[in-house]
């Protein structure tokens, strides 16, 4: 039986060329798999047909939009996950769900190898290959762009020599990856970190400097899950999509950062994630109202480590699974409404209400009706600061 290779297929030049390239280099049949995680753009049925026209023996398209939103984006919202306190893990979150579908296709078609189109200096090669190894350690991974030094010039020459049905003359100045949770842009003039981004870079967001009417939205959560917008029930996917439109129209979610890649280099990245930033901001504020202080303090440490694990491609790792359990438990009482104003590139919380709130008006108020017994504060301070006081006394005598 002829060996089979499952290829993560995007429909672009590199992965289209990979189909014939793999066949020539390995003698294997190629099954192309495209996974819809809400990236928009070209019709996925057209992509499937293109894969077949480029030589794939079979081509599949998996609609993973709700799966991606429910099983990958939602945990990130519950974890308030931002790598380096900024990046809401846009591409990082999509790689494990794509890896899951690649493994399923490999098992279905009896393939022994999975291929992807990543380069050797990015994070995604790690995310794909570690994810695949975690789900199916018996599979082998190859990356033609990396393993066979498949430069763009070589890819264009191969496409032209084999009359592949794909444009080979136009090249975007940017490298772009996008899904429903956001959009990532790099390369081109952006590699000079002194150069500011221009409006041409953006697609999910409008210029926040342009005057426009503010948009107010009420987001309802139940145990950390966004379940309604302005009182209308929504799925997680619908919540992200609607806030992409509404927050994006206000310029919310633009991020320009230099980040630490897993492979050891620093990279300048431009991100757009209007829905993600609005939801994470609202969720984090509702936690401030409903999560007990010591749990909240510890959760902030967990959030950072959770984001690092996902960024580093360790979605299926034992530590990530264990932290998932903590995050889920911490979200037990994160229910209620957050009112936000979307305007001028910012998502600003202006109101909070919750039946599981730990905010006690009578304890917090300074007006009549105050139930906080201030007479107990003096003794509390004496005991609380006692160890520091004793140490200070010793230090002053040395």
Record the tokens describing residue 136, joined without a space. Answer: 């199916």
Question: Annotated catalytic, 207?
Answer: no
Q: Alpha-carbon dihedral of residues 343, 347, 349, 353, nearest 10 degrees? A: 110
DSSP string of 261-307, one letter each residue: -TTS-EEEEEEE-HHHHHHHHHHHHHHHHHS-HHHHHHHHHHHHHHH
Out of 65, 94, 124, 337, the active site residue is 124
20 annotated among ligand-binding-site residues: no
For residue 5, report the phi and psi dihedrals to the nearest 5 degrees: -125, 130
Question: Is 85 annotated as contributing to ligand binding?
Answer: no
* Burial class of residue 180 in the structure, from the number of CB atoms within 10 Å of its CB (0-12 exposed, 13-18 middle, 19+ buried): buried
Question: What is each CA distance from 69 to 207, 236, 275, in whole angstroms?
Answer: 26, 6, 12
DSSP helix/strand/coil, 7: strand
153 in catalytic set: no
Would the annotation count 10 as a binding residue? yes
Which residues neighbour 176 within 8 Å (Cβ) at sequence distance 6 or greater? Answer: 183, 184, 185
Q: Which of 95, 246, 254, 268 is catalytic?
A: 95
Instruction: Find out whether 366 is annotated in a ligand binding site.
Output: no
Per the residue annotation, which of 172, 175, 223, 260 is the catalytic one?
Answer: 175
Is 29 among the annotated ligand-binding positions?
A: no
The response to whether 124 counts as a known ligand-binding position is: yes
Other C-beta atoms lying within 10 Å of the C-beta of residue 113: 18
Catalytic: 124? yes
162 annotated ligand binder: no
Residue 341 is labelled as binding a ligand: no
The answer on whether 129 is annotated among ligand-binding residues is no
Residue 335 annotated in ligand binding: no
DSSP string, 295-352: HHHHHHHHHHHHHHHHHTT-TTSHHHHHHHHHHHHHTTT--EEEEEEEETTEEEEEEE
CA-CA distance, 230 to 240, in Å (whole number)? 14
The catalytically annotated residue of 14, 36, 312, 337 is: 14
Q: Is 223 annotated as a binding residue?
A: no
Was 175 annotated as part of a binding site? yes
Please confirm, yes or no, whether 14 is among the known catalytic residues: yes
Q: Tokens 């029930």: give the residue.
A: 233
H-assigned helices in the chain? 13-26, 44-53, 65-68, 74-78, 90-109, 124-135, 144-147, 152-161, 236-249, 274-290, 293-311, 318-330, 361-364, 377-384, 386-397
8 annotated as belonging to a binding site for a ligand: yes
80 is in an annotated binding site: no
Report residue 131 as tokens: 């994810």
Q: Which residues contact 354 (CB under 8 A, 6 or more apart)?
A: 286, 289, 290, 335, 336, 337
163 marked as part of a ligand binding site: no
Angle between helices 124-135 and 90-109 (to 10 degrees): 40
Binding site membership for L-aspartate: which residues? 119, 123-124
Binding site membership for L-citrulline: which residues? 87, 92, 123, 127, 175, 259, 271
Binding site membership: which residues? 8-16, 87, 92, 117, 119, 123-124, 127, 175, 259, 271
Binding site membership for ATP: which residues? 8-16, 117
User: Catalytic amino acids?
Assistant: 14, 95, 124, 175
């Amino acid at each position: 039986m002829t060996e089979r290779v499952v290829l993560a297929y995007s429909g672009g030049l590199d992965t289209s060329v990979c189909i014939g390239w793999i066949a020539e280099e390995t003698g294997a049949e190629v099954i192309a798999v495209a996974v819809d995680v809400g990236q928009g753009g070209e019709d996925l049925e057209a992509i499937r047909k293109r894969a077949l026209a480029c030589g794939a023996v079979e081509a599949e398209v998996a609609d993973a939009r709700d799966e991606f939103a429910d099983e990958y984006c939602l945990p990130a919202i519950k974890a308030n996950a931002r790598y380096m306190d900024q990046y809401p893990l846009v591409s990082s979150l999509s790689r494990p769900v794509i890896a899951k579908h690649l493994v399923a296709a490999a098992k279905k078609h009896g393939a022994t190898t999975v291929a992807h189109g990543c380069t050797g200096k990015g994070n995604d090669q790690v995310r794909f290959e570690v994810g695949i190894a975690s789900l199916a350690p018996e599979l082998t991974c190859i990356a033609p762009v990396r393993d066979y030094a498949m430069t763009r010039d070589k890819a264009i020459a191969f496409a032209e020599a084999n009359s592949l049905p794909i444009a080979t003359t136009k090249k975007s100045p940017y490298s772009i990856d996008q899904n429903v949770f956001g959009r990532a842009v790099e390369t081109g003039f952006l590699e000079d970190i002194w150069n500011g981004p221009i409006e041409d870079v953006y697609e999910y967001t409008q210029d926040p400097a342009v005057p426009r009417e503010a948009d107010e939205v009420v987001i309802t959560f139940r145990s950390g899950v966004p379940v309604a917008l302005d009182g209308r029930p929504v799925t997680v996917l619908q919540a992200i999509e609607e806030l992409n439109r509404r927050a994006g129209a206000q310029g919310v979610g633009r991020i320009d950062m230099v980040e630490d890649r897993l492979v050891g280099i620093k990279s300048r990245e431009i991100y757009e994630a209007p829905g993600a930033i609005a939801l994470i901001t609202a969720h984090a504020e509702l936690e401030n109202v409903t999560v007990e202080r010591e749990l909240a303090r510890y959760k902030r440490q967990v959030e950072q480590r959770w984001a690092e694990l996902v960024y580093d491609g360790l979605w299926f790792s034992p530590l990530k699974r264990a932290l998932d359990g903590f995050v889920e438990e911490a979200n037990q009482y994160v229910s209620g409404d957050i009112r936000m104003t979307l305007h001028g590139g910012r998502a600003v919380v202006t109101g909070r209400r919750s039946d599981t709130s730990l905010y006690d008006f009578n304890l917090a108020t300074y007006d009549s009706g105050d139930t906080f017994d201030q007479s107990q504060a003096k003794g509390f301070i004496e005991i609380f600061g006692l160890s520091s006081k004793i140490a200070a006394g010793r230090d002053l005598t040395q």
